[in-house]
Structure 1
């Protein structure tokens, strides 16, 4: 049998749970006054399960709104192709401290080395921590920006970007972007500066960004805002997709090895 002190303690826990669930304190008061020990325990467990269920659903909704192209986590992620900066450890990356500090990540390297996987895994972790997150390919973002501008809802769209905690831009610099679209993209970068953390994946070194975004001065301003509070992660090695492609075995013996002539 529970002591009066134990019952009052359980009542306080029930009250705390009721507040989380936005329920009346009448529930906790009534439980302490009228419920049996077993009923008190049951109500406490029931409320805890409801809190857990709501949190799980909240995370699911956040992940759905983020619009990830796939579900990826850090579970089993191999860092063998990643060169982290000395001031950023694997643990610090996965803890998302950089998001809280409004810092950026630039994931640079050839295709197939896990840049997008890392970006998505970081975004999933951010959703689980309650950070408002959104994933775009750069091409997809540009299309949405142009559509918003043409429909006179650009300011509303920009406000939704500014309200994010983490913005992920995949495939940065993969295709050339016209001047008007580049200007809109610059505005996104400028609005996020020191307000929203960004993750960019790219296979293009900074010196070549000007070839993609048409205006070298604007490109320099973009780079300045991205790298000022950012970390550069360099991906090197052999493409994971090529390494594990089924076609490699199927074409073995069919595709001749290339001879190098000196």
Structure 2
């Protein structure tokens, strides 16, 4: 959103926002955009900041709810994360490393990822993009 530092007023944080920023944030929300555009035309900078903050929080809440719903629908037997994973025995291709895996950049590029390895005392673990 805005690059300016938010100011405090009566326990509330007010950010400066433009009508375009608020419309962008409201894009995913079920609002009548023509009505919103008219309201934004008359809004003060403080009102725009309030709406931008509200829409940011609503979009974040919806994204988190969607993430939880999709994980539940996937029916994974256990929840696994990369936290606490022992990478000491893992090997990675020379052109790809652990940081690339953890950054999830391959997701934005719509690339597939294949994990393969062995379950033994040597604990081989390699990943590659397909």
Report the TM-score when normalising by structure 1.
0.36
For residues 39 and 19 of structure 2, the distance between their equivalents in structure 1, rounded to whole angstroms, comes to: 9
The Cα shift of 1:18 comes to 1.8
TM (normalized to structure 2)? 0.66
- Alignment length, in residue pairs? 110
Structure 1 runs of 4+ aligned residues shifted over 4 Å read: none
The residue that corresponds to 1:28 in the other structure is: 37
- Aligned equivalents of 1:37 and 1:93: distance in 2? 42
Q: Is the 8 A contact 1:18 1:24 kept in 2?
A: no
Alignment partner of 1:106: what SS?
A: strand
Aligned residue in 2 for 1:110:
120
Question: How do residues 4-43 of structure 1 correspond to structure 2 at under 5 angstroms?
Answer: 10-25=18-33, 26-33=35-42, 35-43=43-51
For residues 78 and 43 of structure 1, do their structure 2 counterparts lie closer, same or farther at Cα, with a shift above 3 Å needed?
same
Unpaired segments of 5 or more residues in structure 2? 1-15
Partner of 1:49: 57
1:103/1:40 Cα in 2 relative to 1: closer, same or farther (>3 Å)?
closer
1:90-110, Cα deviation, whole Å (9 max, x unpaired):
112223355522342213222
Superposed CA RMSD in Å reads 3.0
SS of residue paired to 1:104: strand
Per the alignment, do residues 36 and 101 of structure 1 end up closer, same or farther by CA in structure 2, a change over 3 Å counting?
closer
Distance of 1:109 and 1:86 partners within structure 2:
22
Q: Which structure features the higher share of helix residues?
A: 1
User: Using CA pairs below 8 Å that are at least 6 residues apart, which structure has the higher relative contact order?
Assistant: 1
Partner of 1:219: none
Q: Distance in 1 between matches of 2:113 and 2:120?
A: 23
